[in-house]
Amino acid sequence: MESLKWENIFLKELEEFMLTAPAISLVHKTDHAFRVWKICEKIGKKTGADFEVLCAAALLHDLGRHYGLEIHGEKSAELAEPILKKHNFPEEKIPIVLDAIAKHDYNMSKRKRKTIESKILYDSDKIDAFGAVGVYRHILFTIQGRIRISGVVPKLKERYRGLSLPESKKAAKKDYEYTVDYFKKLTKELKKNKP
């Protein structure tokens, strides 16, 4: 499978990038990119998506995050382009990869994501906020001061409602419910035990 070849190449590129990136985001490192790729793979099997495009887009989608940017899709695409060209990624697929990366930010209108690959990347990135790993990531977000515990459940609901594909919602449902339940209980216990 061609995507395995690209997986190895882009994981190595991502690891090298992380050594010199100016503002590392703890919750958007190589492990996050790899999980997003695996979620893309799962959803992609059900939708007939291009796995080479998904692999490249997933593994390179957060390069701009490590420049301290919250809205980072365009910067990530800009940084991904020379990496794709350096490794002779199929030229006709490069614009599709860059489009998916550029349009994966949460503030981007759903209507602008036209390809199946851009929809899958967006959904997979958001799905990584669910489940046990999602709990861990949200706790890191709260420690960093990016969100309050009381704001996690509304954010999770917004993410789930915003998923583009029915296949994504189906794949994420169990982990989404687990994460919402966890943070509801945590919020309740923190309120109850407040001095």
Torsion of CA 176, 66, 144, 163, to 10 degrees: -20
The span from the CA of 16 to the CA of 174, in Å, is 35
Predicted TM-score (pTM) above 0.85: yes
What does DSSP assign to residue 146?
A: S
Residue 150: enclosing H or E segment and its boundaries?
helix 149-161
For 48, the token pair is 């007939």
Which pLDDT tens digit goes with each residue over 23-49? 999 899 999 999 999 999 999 999 999
Question: Looking at the predicted structure, is the pLDDT value of residue 3 above 80?
Answer: no
Question: Looking at the predicted structure, is the pLDDT value of residue 1 above 60?
Answer: no
The span from the CA of 165 to the CA of 3, in Å, is 22
Residue ranges and CATH numbers for the domains of the chain are 1-109 (1.10.472), 129-195 (no CATH)
Q: What is the rounded average pLDDT for all residues in the chain?
A: 95
Which pLDDT tens digit goes with each residue over 113-153? 999 999 999 999 999 999 999 999 999 999 988 899 999 99
